[in-house]
Amino acid sequence: MSRRRTLSGTAGLSPWKRALTTAGSREAADAVTPERSHVLNEPTVRMTAVRRLYEVSARMGAGRSLAETLQAVVEGVVNGLGFGIAVLNLRQSDGKFEVIAVAGSPEAREALLGTISAGDIFDAEFAIADKWGGLRFVPHERLPEGGEIVGWVPEIPIPSGADAWHPLDALFAPLHSSDGELVGMLSVDLPEDQRRPGQIRRELLEIFATQAGLAIDKARLTDQLLAEKARLEASETTFRMVFEGAGNGMATIAFDGPEAGRILRVNDAFCHITGYTPAQLVGTTFVDYLRDEQTGQTKREIEQLATGRGPYRFERTFRRTDGNDIWLGGTAAIVDQGKDLPRIILIQIDDVTARKDAERELRHHAAHDPLTGLPNRRLLQHRFNAALQRSRQTGRRGVLMFCDLNHFKQVNDKYGHEAGDKALREIADRLLTEVRHGDTVARLGGDEFAVLAEDIDGDDLDVLMRRIDESISKPLDGIDVPVTASIGLAVVSPYAADLDELLRTADNAMYEAKRAYRASL
C-alpha cells in the first residue's frame, strides 16, 4: 500500500477505501453498493446525468434545505456519472471546510459527515493538480515519495492502460458562488469503468458543481432574507414574496438540427422568473427574448459556448411577457445526448435585476451631483474628452462656460441652507431648460456651474448666453435676494489641451465679468 493525502476532513474519501480494504477485494465494493455493480456506458451516463440534474433542480425549486439539496447533488454524481463516491465540503465563514453531503457508501457517510478541516486542506493537492476546465485532477504519479500515511488505500487490482484510474488518483470540482467566491469543494473517486473521465463526463461534473454553488448561494440568500425579516419585522406575506422570487429556473434549448435555438423544456421557476407560461415558451426561439447590449453579443456568446470549454456564465437582459426587461444571470452548457441525437443547451437562470439596478444607481451617483442631479466634474471630464475628439475630427468649435452665482451667499445667510439647496435645484432645472439638446450642464461645487456646448459660435452663442443669464436672474421662489450670474467662456477647439486648462481660462474670464458687474453697481 501507498499513502494518500487527506481529501476531506481528517480522512477524505478514505472511509470508502477503508471499507474496500476491510473486505480485501473489488467484490467488497460491490457488496457495499450492489446497485452500482454494473458499469454504465457513455450514452447512459449522459442521459442519466441530465435526468439527475433535473431532479436536483426540482429539489432547489421546492425550497429544500441546503443539506438536502447538496445530498441530491452528490447522489446525482454517483448515480448519474458513474463514480463510486462523492463528497461535498462546504466552506464556512472562518475559511474551514465541513463535509455536508456524502454519497456512495454508508460507511463513508457515517465517518465523514460533519467533519471539519483547515482552510488550506486542498492547497497541497492543487499545487500538483492538472486543470481540466474548472476541475482539478491529481494524478497518483505526482504524489511525493516518502510522505506520511494518512487514511486508507483499497487493496484492489490496479487497472492497466494510459487512462486507467489509479486508486491514488483524485478529482476535485471547486464550487463557486455567482460572483466567483469559493464556497465549497466537490470531490469524486472510483469511477466504475476504472478510467479517467472523458470530456463529456467532466463537463457534466462541472454542471453538477455549478448547481451545488447555486444551492449554496440560494441558502445564503435565504439566511439573509430571514435575518432581514427579523430585523425589520416585515410581514409574512412580503417575506414569502421575496423568498419565492429567488427560485432557480432551468430550460433546455436545441443546439443542433432543424429545431436549433428553440426552447424544448422549462421548469416552473423559469416561468415564474420570466412571466411566461410553458405553452408560450416551448417551441419559440430563445434569443428572440434577449437584447444585445453590444452589437453581435449573442452571436459571440453562442460561438464561445460552442467551444465546449465547460459551463458558460452569462448576464443578459430578457424581455418579459409584460414588455419590461429584466436581467438574467446564470450558466449555459452544451450536453451531448448520445449517438444520432441532437445536442442540447442546458441553462440555469436567476433574476439579478435588483443587483444590476443597484450597480447602475452606483454608477449614476459616481457621475452626478447628489443635490441637483446634474453631471459632476467626473462626468463633465468624460463628455469633454468626447467633445474634444469630435472637434479634432471636424474642426468645429464649441465653448465651455463657467457660471458663478452673484449674491447667493446672502440666500444662505438670510434663509438658511435648506432654502439655499432648494434654490440651487431650481437654478439647475432652469439651466437644463435653456440649453440645447446635447449640451451638458454640470455642477462644479457650491454655487458654480459649467456648461459644455459643442458646435456653437457667433450669434447662436450670444443667444445661448443671454438665455442662461436671464433664466438665472429670474426671481427665485420665496426668496427676495436678486441672484444673478457671472459667466466666463473658454473655446473648445482642435487645439485645446485639457479640461483643467479650459476651466482655468473660463474661470479667469468669469472673474473679469464679475469685476465688471460689481463696477456697474
**Residue 454 and residue 396 in contact, taking contact as beta carbons nearer than 8 Å:** yes
CA distances (Å), origin 476, targets 179, 416, 506: 49, 14, 26
Please choose, from the candidates 421, 375, 381, 406, the residue with its C-alpha nearest in 3D space to the C-alpha of residue 472: 406
CA 365 to chain centre: 21
Chain position carrying cell 479640461? 499
CA 208 to chain centre: 18
Whole-angstrom Cα distance, residue 125 to residue 8? Answer: 11
298: CB partners within 8 A, 6+ apart: 287, 290, 292
Please choose, from the candidates 330, 188, 321, the residue with its C-alpha nearest in 3D space to the C-alpha of residue 248: 330
C-alpha cell, 76: 446525482
Active-site residue 447, yes or no? yes
Whole-angstrom Cα distance, residue 308 to residue 328? Answer: 22
Identify residue 163 by its one-letter amino acid code: D
Catalytic residue, chosen from 350, 357, 447, 457, is: 447
Give SS3 for 340: coil
DSSP string, 384-417: HHHHHHHHHHH---EEEEEEEEESHHHHHHHH-H
Whole-angstrom Cα distance, residue 174 to residue 170? Answer: 13
**Residue 208 and residue 173 in contact, taking contact as beta carbons nearer than 8 Å:** yes
Neighbour count for residue 85 (Cβ, 10 Å): 27
Identify residue 216 by its one-letter amino acid code: I
- Paired residues of 334 in beta bridges: 345
User: Which residue blocks in 149-296 are alpha helix, DSSP H?
Assistant: 199-232, 236-244, 268-274, 278-281
- Paired residues of 176 in beta bridges: 182
Instruction: Count CA within 13 A, CB hemisphere, residue 325.
Output: 13
**Residue 336 and residue 204 in contact, taking contact as beta carbons nearer than 8 Å:** no
Integer Rg of the chain from CA? 33
Identify residue 488 by its one-letter amino acid code: G
- Paired residues of 200 in beta bridges: none
Whole-angstrom Cα distance, residue 67 to residue 84? Answer: 20
**Residue 492 and residue 440 in contact, taking contact as beta carbons nearer than 8 Å:** no
Question: Is 408 exposed, middle or buried, given 0-12, 13-18 or 19+ CB atoms closer than 10 A?
Answer: buried
C-alpha cell, 350: 436567476
Annotated active-site positions, please? 447
